[in-house]
Structure 1
Amino acid sequence: MARNRSSSRNKKSLSRPDKGVLRIMPLGGLGEVGRNMAVLEFDGRLLVIDCGVLFPDPDQPGIDVILPDFAPIADRLDQIDGIVLTHGHEDHIGGVPYLLKLRPDIPLVGSQLTLALITAKLQEHRIKPVTQQVSEGDRIKLGGFDCEFAAVNHSIPDGLAVFVRTPGGTVLHTGDFKMDQFPLDDRITDLRAFARFGEEGVDVFMVDSTNAEVPGFTTGEQELGPAISEVIRTSPRRVIVSSFASHVHRIQQVIDAAHEHGRKVAFVGRSMVRNMGIARDLGYLQIPEGTLVDHRDLMKMPDNKTVLICTGSQGEPMAALARIAKNDHQIKVGPGDTVLLASSLIPGNESSIYNIINQLSELGTNVVHKGNAKVHTSGHASAGELAYCHNIIEPRNVLPVHGEWRHLDAQATIAKKTGVPAENVLVVRDGAVIDLVKGKIQVAGQVSARLVFVEGGQVDAVNDETLAERRALAEDGVVTILLFIDPKTGDIVEDPEYISKGALPGEDEFEELTPKIQKALRSAVQAGRNDQNELEIEVARTVTNWFRRGRRTSPVVIPVVVDA
């Protein structure tokens, strides 16, 4: 199995592929669960498959979302023939508004629900998209790319896999999928289409790897119904359900259980209200008449007759659930209330989610989640289902996508076990450039695939250095030092003023630092470094070393040197 661990920051110039060569550039979703995006190139034309966001980790304070790096295609936007969207989850469509801001008329291709969700999102960005709706079985031309779509089952309705034909080879991209045999919407993954693609010949199989290390088969959605119903039936007071704002299937189950037990339902959170309104209008969500009410009206009803469905299942700090847990929301919870977390833990979000569980428990609520009740199942195929697909399709080459390194590695193992030659399986990270040459995929180079941060609507205004400073401020505080010196000698002519914020030493303890700063200043001046900026750098170095050696901390140090 070939591997590629080269840095995503390598911006070495890359030659265009030879004529007739199919190139694949994954710009997100490999080595992480999120910001999924792949670019196919053939004879100078580009096709984008998905364009999602990644949600920030706790050590990325202040960041709203993280985008794929558009730099490798930024000067080729006019060559993009379309953006194929496999389904409507944020990690697959959330980056679309930012790409369309660079070229608004790129056609968006997807299913009815997917296009409805992204169109609503684009309205917030004042972008009116060019869209082309497709369904399973449809086959369309997007420039030089011949695309055929097949139904796949996932945790959101209307998911599609796409089979891309070019003269240089074929690619089957599954999007996110599983093989639930009894889905709530009766729409199963179309294995007959997969088999037909396999008979024609799949040169590159780009396959969802999120659950590749989970043995067996993913639990079916219908098996969760009884557990969700029991939670709602037995809760003595309110039930607050937290879920993805696009998880139509799970929310349908909650609504059905609430109706069964005589409870009214309200949606809380802008994205939840918007998405469920779209799903209801298009017929993907069935709400019995009289069941849905405004959450403000729900607050006036008896607690044991209410269910609230809100956002925040991944611990997002500004989502409704996090604010409820911090007692910073108009919805207040306490003893007798039940909070149902109807979603899986996305890798990287564990600490945020468990923190919210602890806060809710401290308020006296009963917290029900996947770890203590059968109230959620994954939307991704497990190892048994994936092996089944590999055997049906018999791909010539496999490029695992959508997952951290361990997930991609597990997918590669499945591919090899089902007969794909090890040299035809590539486990790579974002930014790898893969060419299909004479029927085999190979790494041809590397493009930039850095994390692009969005904060307050601004793209790329925050970098790694800024985040490092924020972490230092949060963990070790900040110290400001005001120094009046004689620039000719470096002597400190007045007592330094130390201003500290955070868990730092008191005023008396700083006294032992002053002689060290004085020594450093004199040495710098004697060496001819008497520029104010140079002296401030010397002070910062001295103070930082003092903290690291004596206290094992690294506060942000702000020296201010004044010519006396």
Structure 2
Amino acid sequence: MSTVFSQRLEEPPALAPGTLRVIPLGGLGDVGRNMAVLEFEGRLLVIDCGVLFPEDSQPGVDLILPDFEILTDRLEDIEAIVLTHGHEDHIGAVPYLLRRRPDIPLVGSQLTLALIEAKLKEHRIRPVTHVVAEDEQRSLGPFDCEFVAVNHSIPDALAVHVSTPAGTVLHTGDFKMDQLPLDGRITDLRAFARLGEAGVDLFMTDSTNAEVPGFTVAEKQIGPTLDGIFARARQKIVVASFASHVHRVQQVLDAAAAHGRKVAFVGRSMVRNMGIASELGYLDIPDDTVIDVKRIDDLPDDQVVLMCTGSQGEPMAALGRIANRDHRVSVGPGDVVILASSLIPGNENAVFRVVNGLMALGAEVVHKGNAQVHTSGHASAGELLYCYNIVRPRNVMPVHGEVRHLIANGKLAEATGVPSERIVLAQDGHVVDLKDGVASVVGAVPNGYVYVDGSSVGQISEADLKDRRILGDEGFISLFAVVSSETGAVIAGPEIHARGVAEDAAVFERIRPEIVKALEKAVAEQTERRDTHQLQQVMRRVVGRYVGQRLRRRPMILPLVIES
């Protein structure tokens, strides 16, 4: 397999005539911020534009975006943004790209566009949208696109086949091959086979479950488990899921109706998305089943089901606030909480922190680790093998996954007969050119994380995050001293203020004489104009050495020296 994970790549050459260029800007190395840019004859087609959710090592960050820098001077070259489905990791960054050019057409299925339109409304952007459906074809500049139905954990997902004179690309988006889907809409393997017969030059395939053997459990197998939990529950039931997981919400609604319970949606995104899904006919709500959350206080606990957000341990989502007793909904002994979702890699600590909080309140917590309450929306190894054998692509480029997922997916392709030199294992920012039926990495473009922090976008750097981690882990010390402009003697201070470093402030008393001694020595050595910056660094070194040796800590130290 052609892997360039550890190689340092140069800037790619100019795009040669008759060549199709593919630049992944997200989704290769992370489960999130999925985005790929296709270029042909100076025109661009974007496939997906999603966000990545931050980990514990990125404190204060709300979202992580793809790096749009290479598009900054080429916004007018973008023909359209094709959205494969409505999950946040595929559509969440669209508002931030449309801020730069609001009239970029958005192309996707009915539900996908309805979800992104609702999000864009909050950003005060009125998009240009084009609804497409499976089996439909549409020309977007030099890109002839055909859309193929695929099954996923959200309705209306589409794969996209892109045809150009330089070659063809089949991008699966997120998919699986559930043969018993709740909505009856299966992955169209006949279309995959037809496209394969015509010739697929580059197959970009979902890698998330490439390490999982066999086949992904069918959605319908979750229903009996939920029904059993509802049957034995004697008090309140709280179910947490992704706000876009229409299929899981449908199963909860069906179970609630069967057991005489009312369902209240909790969380702004959950309420919004389920309203859209119901209005468009993707969610079938049994009569007199859904109520406003304000009405739950009027019902006995054994008639209540709360469908909420927060399945990934997000502290500000409904479930996290419930666990922290910071929500109008409370749980206690006898209540059942169901986490009806998989863990996104990197969220483990946050999720188990919420689980522990709920259990400390006395609730029973049911999750995928102890019951079959969720199934993945991604194809496992057995399904991927089927696809490779059906499509028979000339080149393969695994997408959507961490490095281990991409490598595992590449090995599956190789096992089905795809030559190893035709399997491209790339990462975000790598530039892949398809020419004369051969795909290869020809360089790389700058591609970093772009952090959304409150109202700021891209203003937070890795250095800022390092400072935040130090503050959170090691604490903070501020130092203040005043020296005489005439004699250089310390006439005030040094004052030492510490937070999160030591329980007893008296521990710093013994270092004050050392700071004074070091300052006076440094002043005596300055023969010309007094350098307060140098004196501040003297204080920093003395205190840093003392705290490191005595307390075994490395806090952030901010010294200030003033002349008087």
Query: What interval of TM-score do these two structures reach, taking the shorter chain for normalisation?
Result: over 0.9
Question: 1:246 touches 1:276 (CA, 8 Å); kept in 2?
Answer: yes
Aligned AA (1:2)? S
Aligned AA (2:63)? V
**In the alignment, which residue of structure 1 is the partner of 2:276?**
278
**In the alignment, which residue of structure 2 is the partner of 1:293?**
291
Cα RMSD of the aligned pairs, angstroms, is 1.7
Counterpart-to-counterpart distance in 2, 1:138 and 1:354: 44
Deviation at residue 546 of structure 1 after TM alignment: 3.1
Aligned AA (2:304)? T
Aligned AA (2:202)? V
SS in 2 for 1:496: strand
**In the alignment, which residue of structure 2 is the partner of 1:190?**
188
Describe the superposition over 1:450-480 as per-residue Cα deviations: whole angstroms up to 9, x where unpaired: 1111122321122212221221111121111
With over 3 angstroms needed to count, the CA separation of the structure-2 counterparts of 1:559 and 1:248, relative to structure 1, is same
Deviation at residue 524 of structure 1 after TM alignment: 4.7
- Out of 106, 109, 118, the position equivalent to 1:108 is 106
Counterpart-to-counterpart distance in 2, 1:404 and 1:557: 37
**In the alignment, which residue of structure 2 is the partner of 1:418?**
416
- The farther-off stretch of 428-437 and 166-175 is 428-437
**In the alignment, which residue of structure 2 is the partner of 1:546?**
546
- Out of 296, 306, 309, the position equivalent to 1:308 is 306
Deviation at residue 489 of structure 1 after TM alignment: 7.1
**In the alignment, which residue of structure 1 is the partner of 2:531?**
531
Counterpart-to-counterpart distance in 2, 1:79 and 1:401: 24
Describe the superposition over 1:151-172 as per-residue Cα deviations: whole angstroms up to 9, x where unpaired: 0000000000000001111111
SS in 1 for 2:404: helix
With over 3 angstroms needed to count, the CA separation of the structure-2 counterparts of 1:32 and 1:195, relative to structure 1, is same
Deviation at residue 544 of structure 1 after TM alignment: 2.7
Counterpart-to-counterpart distance in 2, 1:222 and 1:376: 10
Question: 2:494 touches 2:516 (CA, 8 Å); kept in 1?
Answer: no
Counterpart-to-counterpart distance in 2, 1:489 and 1:34: 60
**In the alignment, which residue of structure 2 is the partner of 1:126?**
124
Deviation at residue 64 of structure 1 after TM alignment: 1.1
**In the alignment, which residue of structure 1 is the partner of 2:357?**
359
Aligned AA (2:276)? I
With over 3 angstroms needed to count, the CA separation of the structure-2 counterparts of 1:144 and 1:497, relative to structure 1, is same
Describe the superposition over 1:131-185 as per-residue Cα deviations: whole angstroms up to 9, x where unpaired: 1110010111000101001000000000000000011111110000000000000
**TM-score, normalised relative to structure 2:** 0.96
Deviation at residue 491 of structure 1 after TM alignment: 4.5
- State the number of aligned residues: 562
Question: 2:167 touches 2:435 (CA, 8 Å); kept in 1?
Answer: no
Deviation at residue 486 of structure 1 after TM alignment: 4.1
Aligned AA (2:536)? E
1:368-407 superposed matches below 5 A: 368-407=366-405
**TM-score, normalised relative to structure 1:** 0.96
Counterpart-to-counterpart distance in 1, 2:7 and 2:463: 18
Question: 1:490 touches 1:518 (CA, 8 Å); kept in 2?
Answer: no
**In the alignment, which residue of structure 1 is the partner of 2:18?**
20
SS in 1 for 2:290: coil
**In the alignment, which residue of structure 2 is the partner of 1:459?**
457
**In the alignment, which residue of structure 1 is the partner of 2:58?**
60
1:420-439 superposed matches below 5 A: 420-439=418-437
SS in 2 for 1:165: strand
**In the alignment, which residue of structure 1 is the partner of 2:168?**
170
Question: 2:480 touches 2:493 (CA, 8 Å); kept in 1?
Answer: no
Work out the percentage of aligned pairs sharing the same amino acid.
Answer: 58
With over 3 angstroms needed to count, the CA separation of the structure-2 counterparts of 1:527 and 1:430, relative to structure 1, is farther
- The farther-off stretch of 208-217 and 422-431 is 422-431
Deviation at residue 539 of structure 1 after TM alignment: 2.5
Counterpart-to-counterpart distance in 2, 1:201 and 1:114: 28
Question: 2:501 touches 2:555 (CA, 8 Å); kept in 1?
Answer: no
**In the alignment, which residue of structure 2 is the partner of 1:96?**
94
Aligned AA (1:501)? R
Question: 1:86 touches 1:160 (CA, 8 Å); kept in 2?
Answer: yes
Counterpart-to-counterpart distance in 2, 1:409 and 1:554: 38
**In the alignment, which residue of structure 1 is the partner of 2:46?**
48
Question: 2:338 touches 2:367 (CA, 8 Å); kept in 1?
Answer: yes
SS in 1 for 2:111: helix
**In the alignment, which residue of structure 1 is the partner of 2:216?**
218
Counterpart-to-counterpart distance in 2, 1:490 and 1:16: 62
SS in 1 for 2:490: coil
Describe the superposition over 1:207-249 as per-residue Cα deviations: whole angstroms up to 9, x where unpaired: 0000000011000000110001111121110101100000000
**In the alignment, which residue of structure 2 is the partner of 1:238?**
236
Counterpart-to-counterpart distance in 2, 1:484 and 1:334: 56
- The farther-off stretch of 501-510 and 388-397 is 501-510
With over 3 angstroms needed to count, the CA separation of the structure-2 counterparts of 1:265 and 1:561, relative to structure 1, is same
1:24-43 superposed matches below 5 A: 24-43=22-41
**In the alignment, which residue of structure 2 is the partner of 1:262?**
260
Deviation at residue 536 of structure 1 after TM alignment: 2.0
Describe the superposition over 1:487-525 as per-residue Cα deviations: whole angstroms up to 9, x where unpaired: 677653444111111132633322343355345545654
Aligned AA (1:39)? V
With over 3 angstroms needed to count, the CA separation of the structure-2 counterparts of 1:3 and 1:544, relative to structure 1, is farther
Aligned AA (2:246)? V
Question: 2:501 touches 2:553 (CA, 8 Å); kept in 1?
Answer: no
SS in 2 for 1:299: helix
- The farther-off stretch of 525-534 and 396-405 is 525-534
Deviation at residue 443 of structure 1 after TM alignment: 1.4
Aligned AA (1:451)? Y
**In the alignment, which residue of structure 1 is the partner of 2:72?**
74
